[in-house]
Structure 1
Amino acid sequence: MSEHGTREQGVSEHGVGEVDVRVDGTGPEPFGARLRRAMDERGPLCVGIDPHASLLADWGLNDDVAGLERFSRTVVEALADRVAVLKPQSAFFERFGSRGVAVLEKSVEAAREAGALVVMDAKRGDIGSTMAAYAAAFLEKGSPLFSDALTVSPYLGYGSLKPAVELARESGSGLFVLALTSNPEGAEVQHAVRPEDTALRNVGATMLAHLAEENAGQTPMGSFGAVVGATLGDLSAYDLGINGPLLAPGVGAQGATPADLPRVFGAALHQVVPNVSRGVLRHGPDIGALRASSDLFAAQIRAALESA
C-alpha cells in the first residue's frame, strides 16, 4: 500500500493486480481506463452477486447471515479471478442489517484483491449533503465499502449527482447512471418527453448526452457509464456513443442473449458490459459449474463481438 492512499485494484500492464496511480504519476488511474483493460484481457462479462432468498434456497443454504456469507464467498472464489466485473446488489446484503453489510464489505475486499473490478449496485440518488454521503460510502478511499464504481439514479435531476461525479473523479472511481433500464416500468420516466422541442426531448437521451459530456476527451474510455438494458431491442434512435461503458442487464434469465447484443447496441457494442446474474448463479454452489457457466457466457459474448 502506498503511503499516499489506498491502492486501486485493477489490471496493470503486467496483468491482474494492484495499481496505485496513473502511469504518469498524477493521480489514481481512472475507472474507465482500468475497466477497458480488464475487458480487453478478461472479456467484458459482468456477473451479479444477488443472494436473494430463492437462490439461497436453491443452493441449499439458509436465508440467514451464514447462508449469505457462504453464497458470497463461493461466488467470489469461483469468479473473481476470471471475470472483468462483479456486481453485488447491496439490497440483498442490507436486508440482514449490520451483519449483512459486514459480509458485503468482506466480499468487496476479496473480489478486488482477486483482481475483479467491483460495481456496487446500490442505485443511490438524492440531493445535496445526502447524495454526498451516499457517494462517500461507496466512492471514498478508506471506506469499508469502497468500490470501483457505483450505480446511481438521476431522477431527481442529473445535477443532483454532482457530489458523486466529483468524488468519483477524485478517487478514480466510476458511475453507472440509470438511463434506459430493462424493466418495463422504467419507460414511463425514461422515455418521457420534455416540453421543449429539441433533439433531446427524451429523458433517457438527455441522460446519455450528460454522460457524453462528462467523458469528453477521455482515453481509452471515460469513467461515467449508463445502464442500458439488453432486452430493449433496437436502440438506433439513441446516441449510445457516450465514450463510456454501457452496463447491460437482461442477459440470461431476463431473456436477452449474447447474440442479441450487436442488434441492440450497434456501433457502441465494444463499450458494452453485459451483465448476467441468475444465468450464472443458478449453477451454484458448485464452483466448477459456476466457472463453466461464466466461461460459456464469456465465449458467447466474445463470438458476438467478433461477428459484429
Structure 2
Amino acid sequence: MEFADRVVQAVRRKGNPVVVGIDPRPEELPTGFLDRFPGTRTGVADALRTFGCEIVDVVAPLAPLIKFQSAFYEAYGPEGLGALHATVEHARERDVLVIFDGKRNDIGSTADAYARAYLGKEPVGGSFEPSWHADAMTINPYLGSDGVDPFVKIAAREHKGVFVLVRTSNASAREFQDLVCDGLPVYRHVANRLKAWGKGRDGKEGYNLLGAVVGATYPSELAELREALPGVLFLVPGYGAQGGEAKDIAAGFDANGQGALVNNSRGVTFAYKKPTFRDRFGTDWQRAVEQAVLDMIDDLAQNTPAGKLRPA
C-alpha cells in the first residue's frame, strides 16, 4: 500500500491526525530516570531507548504516527543511533507509522545514498536489506531537483513518503522563505516545484507520497498553501510549545478532516513537567503523557475539521 494511503487510513482508524514527536533530552527525563542507568555514554543511550519505548507504549494506541528527531540520538554517537534504531523498531511492532526527522539534503549519489539508507535497501551478502524501517523522512529542498529526485524515486519504489520543508515553524523562517523572486515568496516557489516533483505519485486516497512541512505558527501561509497544494499531506510542527494553536491549523485540513498531520513533541513527551499534570498525576509520568495526547485530540476535534474523523 502507498504511504499516503496508509497515513489516511491510519488517521481514519484512530480518529485523529496526531503525530507524537520524540525528541529525548536526558536532562528533561522524569526525576530519577537516569539514575537507573550507568553514568556512561552507553548508559545514557540505554536511558533514551527505554524512555522512548515507554513513550511509544503509551501513545501507540492513540496516535497514528510518531516522528523521531534524529539529532537528539546522534548527539550520543553510535550508542545513541543504536537507541534510535531500537526505538523505531519498537514503534513498528506497535503498528505506528514512523517519520524519520533528519532533514537530509544533498545531490546526486550522496542524496541517493541518504534515500537508500532511510527509505530503501542496501546490498548485504547476496540480498538487499533495509537499514532503517522508517515509513517517511523529512528533507530540505535547498539544493533543488538534484537533491530531491533521488528521495522521490526511492520512496516511490519502496512505497514510502517524503516531507519537504516548505514553510517552517521557526521564527527566522522569514529571513529566506519570504524573500520575493519573480513575484512570489521563495516558499511558494518550493510549493510549486513540489507539485512537479510529485506528479503522478498520488495514492488511491487522493494524497501524494510527497508531503510538505508547513508550520502552525504561520496560519495565513498555511491556509494559502492548503489551497495551492490539494492532495498534499501537511506535516505541521509548531503546535503547543512553539505557540501554535488548533485554530491556527484549521485551514490545513481538507473538508473530511484529513490532509494535516499535527506534530507535538515537547508538549507530549515532557507533559509531566507541566504543573497541572504534575499536580494531577504526581510521579506517574506515563499518565501525564497519555492525558496530553487525549487533550490534544480533543482540542483538534473541537477547533479543526479533524473533529469529522471521530466516530458518530
Whether TM-score is above 0.5 comes out as yes
Are residues 1:31 and 2:3 paired?
Answer: yes
Unaligned ranges ≥5, structure 2: 122-128, 273-283
Are residues 1:211 and 2:194 paired?
Answer: yes
Q: Is the 8 A contact 1:135 1:167 kept in 2?
A: yes
Q: Is the 8 A contact 2:258 2:306 kept in 1?
A: no
Shift of 1:87: 0.3
Give me the whole-angstrom Cα distance separating, in 1, the residues matched to 2:179 and 2:30.
39
Shift of 1:85: 0.5
For 2:262, the aligned partner's letter is: P
For 2:116, the aligned partner's letter is: A
Give me the whole-angstrom Cα distance separating, in 1, the residues matched to 2:30 and 2:132.
27
Unaligned ranges ≥5, structure 1: 1-28
Are residues 1:185 and 2:172 paired?
Answer: yes
Q: Which residue of structure 1 aligns with residue 133 of structure 2?
A: 146
Shift of 1:156: 1.2
The count of residues paired between Structure 1 and Structure 2 equals 275
Q: Which residue of structure 2 aligns with residue 229 of structure 1?
A: 215
Are residues 1:46 and 2:19 paired?
Answer: yes
For the aligned residue pairs, the C-alpha RMSD in angstroms reads: 2.2
Shift of 1:283: 2.5
Deviates more, 1:251-260 or 1:126-135: 251-260
Deviations 1:228-271 (A, max 9, x none): 00011312444442412100001111111223222x53758631
Q: Is the 8 A contact 1:259 1:300 kept in 2?
A: no
Change (3 A) 1:111 1:306: closer
Change (3 A) 1:160 1:59: farther
Change (3 A) 1:306 1:179: closer
Q: Is the 8 A contact 2:21 2:265 kept in 1?
A: yes
Are residues 1:288 and 2:260 paired?
Answer: no
Give me the whole-angstrom Cα distance separating, in 2, the residues matched to 1:243 and 1:154.
19
Q: Is the 8 A contact 1:240 1:265 kept in 2?
A: no
Alignment of 1:111-260 (within 5 A): 111-141=91-121, 142-194=129-181, 196-197=182-183, 201-213=184-196, 214-216=198-200, 217-220=202-205, 221-235=207-221, 236-238=223-225, 239-260=227-248
For 1:207, the aligned partner's letter is: V
Change (3 A) 1:146 1:307: closer
Q: Is the 8 A contact 1:158 1:207 kept in 2?
A: no
Change (3 A) 1:32 1:294: same
For 2:234, the aligned partner's letter is: L
Deviations 1:153-197 (A, max 9, x none): 001114421111100000000000000000122222222222x35
Alignment of 1:68-83 (within 5 A): 68-83=48-63
Q: TM-score, normalised by structure 2?
A: 0.81
Change (3 A) 1:171 1:181: same
Give me the whole-angstrom Cα distance separating, in 2, the residues matched to 1:36 and 1:266.
12
Q: TM-score, normalised by structure 1?
A: 0.82
For 1:298, the aligned partner's letter is: I
Q: Is the 8 A contact 2:19 2:261 kept in 1?
A: yes
Alignment of 1:258-273 (within 5 A): 258-262=246-250, 264-265=251-252, 270-273=258-261
Change (3 A) 1:189 1:147: same
Q: Which residue of structure 1 aligns with residue 279 of structure 2?
A: none
Q: Which residue of structure 2 aligns with residue 55 of structure 1?
A: 28
Are residues 1:99 and 2:71 paired?
Answer: no
Identity of aligned residues (%): 32
SS in 2 for 1:150: strand
Q: Which residue of structure 2 aligns with residue 278 of structure 1?
A: 266
For 2:286, the aligned partner's letter is: I
Shift of 1:281: 1.1
For 1:290, the aligned partner's letter is: V
Give me the whole-angstrom Cα distance separating, in 1, the residues matched to 2:287 and 2:224.
41
Q: Which residue of structure 2 aligns with residue 305 of structure 1?
A: 305
Deviations 1:197-249 (A, max 9, x none): 5xxx3221122223333155543111110000001131244444241210000
